[in-house]
Amino acid sequence: MRVLFGRRLFLRMFRIGVVGGTGYTGAELLRILAGHPHIALSVITSRSEAGLPVAEMFPHLRGRLDLCFTEPDPGALSECDLVFFATPNGTAMQSAPELLERGVRVIDLAADFRLRDPAVWEHWYRTPHGCPHLLAEAAYGLPELNRAAVREARLVANPGCYPTAVTLGFLPLLEGEAVDPSWLIADAKSGVSGAGRKAATGLLMAEVGESFKAYSVTGHRHAPEIVQNLAQFCGVEVNLTFVPHLVPMIRGIEATLYARLTTSDSDLEHLFAQRYAGEPFIDLMPGGHPDTRSVRGANQCRIAVARQGKSGVVVVQSVIDNLVKGAAGQAVQNMNLMLDLEETTGLEAPALLP
């Protein structure tokens, strides 16, 4: 946003706070915000690292951030225009209500406000919801679905990484009534950074390297989030089989999606092109095979759709960087909308290669 004052043109700056800045998602959020032309990072909190310079923990931010981590302080956070929560599930619901009352807008990168039904939340996250009265108000922050709602929201639930890739892949097919909503399969793979920055034997390189496995086969907590998204466009019950896998790479989500066509004459590529026309962060690859390295470090979802012979099955390939379009980049995309900034600001960088 540019403000004309006299004969000089000024950039309006917004004060931003980040709660929980020490994880992979928090680090990615800080990297993106440090280069955003309209953002002044004011507060970055961490209970365990209070007093430590941010650039000491994250040397890649040397010369870009001169703040120290601080203890979470509602007073300091309430002076911000917007606060991100890059915290574990269950944290934002404890603090967001007070910030909202003080007029601060909030984006939660965890799952606290993604599910509409508090009973479903409690089932999957094993704890009662701390502020169920806010669930109906929270805008689900997938701009390709809810851009108008995000613009007006004071509370945004940033989607999960798997739900982003899967929802964007299935969306045109379901909206166009081209597939049977009772038979949907999502075979998804994630790099190890999706599990967070924590010390766990199963995430060590010696454990993950040269290996490949499925997990949460009997049910993953992202499944109800995906079903909730897809059901918006069907008017009927959605039956989804969702199986996640852990692959030996750091970043990336690859979702191979399967659905049964309801008609044999659908122009699938046209269906996707029509639905995503003008979307700045959707890249359709007709006849292509998108790979995760083509989106590494970018706020991009690359999609290819194909029909397999005469089987009546459509196959969609959807890839994102789980830390960017699947988390921090999408959160900044939502922030831009909420603050009436150009949606792509700070997110124009292409992917890293190799």
What phi and psi, each to the nearest 5 degrees, are found at residue 134?
Answer: -95, -10
Domain assignment of residue 338, yes or no: no
Distances (CA, A) of 344 to 150, 200, 298, 349: 15, 36, 11, 10
Residue 97 has pLDDT above 50, yes or no: yes
- Same-domain status, 179 and 216: yes
- Same-domain status, 103 and 167: no
- Same-domain status, 63 and 111: yes
Residue 337 has pLDDT above 60, yes or no: yes
Q: Which of 267, 297, 299 is nearest to 283 (CA)?
A: 299
Residue 222 has pLDDT above 90, yes or no: yes
- Same-domain status, 131 and 170: no
Residue 69 has pLDDT above 50, yes or no: yes
Span 5-52, pLDDT tens digits: 454 555 779 999 999 999 999 999 999 999 999 999 999 999 999 999
DSSP states of 166-191: HHHHHHHHHHTT-EEEEEEEEEEEE-
- Same-domain status, 208 and 296: yes
Number of Cβ within a 10 Å radius of residue 253: 28
Q: How far apart are CA 321 and CA 162, in angstroms?
A: 10
Q: Which of 353, 286, 292, 350 is nearest to 326 (CA)?
A: 292
Span 225-271, pLDDT tens digits: 999 999 988 878 899 999 999 999 999 999 999 999 998 888 999 99
Asked which of 122, 137, 152 is the last residue of a domain, the reply is: 137
Q: How far apart are CA 165 and CA 317, in angstroms?
A: 9
Q: What is the mean pLDDT of the chain?
A: 93
Asked which of 137, 171, 199 is the last residue of a domain, the reply is: 137
Mean pLDDT of 91-95: 96
- Same-domain status, 263 and 227: yes
The reported pLDDT for the residue numbered 7 is: 47
Residue 2 has pLDDT above 60, yes or no: no
- Same-domain status, 169 and 45: no
The two structure tokens encoding residue 152: 């007006």
The reported pLDDT for the residue numbered 351 is: 95
Q: Which of 214, 222, 221 is nearest to 243 (CA)?
A: 214
Domain assignment of residue 339, yes or no: no
- Same-domain status, 199 and 290: yes
Domain assignment of residue 110, yes or no: yes
Q: How far apart are CA 266 and CA 313, in angstroms?
A: 12
The reported pLDDT for the residue numbered 3 is: 53
**Catalytic sites, residue numbers:** 161
162: β partners: none
Q: How far apart are CA 351 and CA 292, in angstroms?
A: 10
Domain assignment of residue 142, yes or no: no
Span 285-314, pLDDT tens digits: 998 999 999 999 999 999 999 998 888 999
Q: What is the CATH number of the domain that holds 219?
A: 3.30.360.10
Q: Which domain holds residue 76?
A: 2-137
Mean pLDDT of 111-134: 96
- Same-domain status, 166 and 315: yes
Q: What is the CATH number of the domain that holds 95?
A: 3.40.50.720
The reported pLDDT for the residue numbered 123 is: 96
Q: Taking the model in full, what pTM does it have?
A: 0.95
pLDDT category, 148, cuts 50, 70, 90? very high
Q: How many domains does the chain have?
A: 2
- Same-domain status, 63 and 181: no
